[in-house]
């Protein structure tokens, strides 16, 4: 973790947890061949986090995102951010939470308003455990 990720007290800024989670989400989508198609069409509509421990400048961290539910037009993810052992402190979970994304068709700006719609079948297949990467 870098200085830019901290507040005046030198511990992580709450928005840093969101960025770490987004990075893990991007890695998941990249591993399934969906990153370019997914992000413009899947905004977060709900995000919640429980902060459990501080992260400090120079500390290594691990962020993990798991898809826990695929609905018709929404997906629910769970995440954890772990601070690795640092300055005599053991590895511990810094934050955990959930977020929901919705599949949109149409445009975010323009003549055709964006609206929720079913996930493409090939995305659903790629995101199921053991599913093939879309390419």
Whichever domain contains 57, its CATH number is 3.10.129.10
Residue whose pair of structure tokens reads 């709900």 in the numeric block? 46
132 within a domain of the structure (yes/no): no
108 by DSSP, 3-state: which?
A: coil
134 within a domain of the structure (yes/no): no
pLDDT at 57: 86
Task: Please state which of the ranges 50-54, 56-60, 131-135 shows the lowest mean pLDDT.
Answer: 131-135
Give pLDDT tens digits for 99-108.
999 999 876 5
Largest CA distance in the chain: 57
107 within a domain of the structure (yes/no): yes
30 within a domain of the structure (yes/no): yes
Total-model pTM: 0.85
- Domain that includes residue 72, residue range: 3-127
**How far apart, in whole angstroms, are the C-alpha atoms of residue 69 and residue 23?**
20
The pair of three-digit structure tokens given for residue 90, joined into one six-digit string: 């053991």
81 within a domain of the structure (yes/no): yes
Residues present in the chain in total: 135
pLDDT at 114: 76
Give pLDDT tens digits for 97-133.
999 999 998 765 555 677 889 999 999 999 987 655 5
The number of distinct structural domains making up the chain is 1
As a whole number of Å, the end-to-end CA separation of the chain is 33
């Amino acid at each position: 973790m870098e200085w830019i990720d901290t507040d005046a007290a030198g511990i992580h800024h709450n928005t840093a947890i969101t960025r770490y989670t987004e990075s893990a989400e991007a890695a998941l989508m990249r591993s399934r061949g969906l990153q370019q198609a997914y992000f413009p069409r899947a905004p977060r509509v709900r995000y919640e986090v429980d902060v459990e421990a501080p992260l400090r400048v120079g500390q290594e961290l691990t962020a993990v995102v798991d898809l826990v539910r695929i609905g018709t037009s929404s997906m629910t993810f769970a995440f954890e951010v772990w601070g690795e052992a640092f300055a005599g402190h053991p590895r511990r979970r810094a934050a955990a939470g959930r977020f929901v994304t919705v599949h949109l068709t149409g445009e975010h700006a323009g003549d055709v308003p964006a609206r929720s719609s079913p996930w493409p079948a090939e995305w659903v297949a790629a995101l199921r455990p053991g599913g093939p990467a879309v390419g």
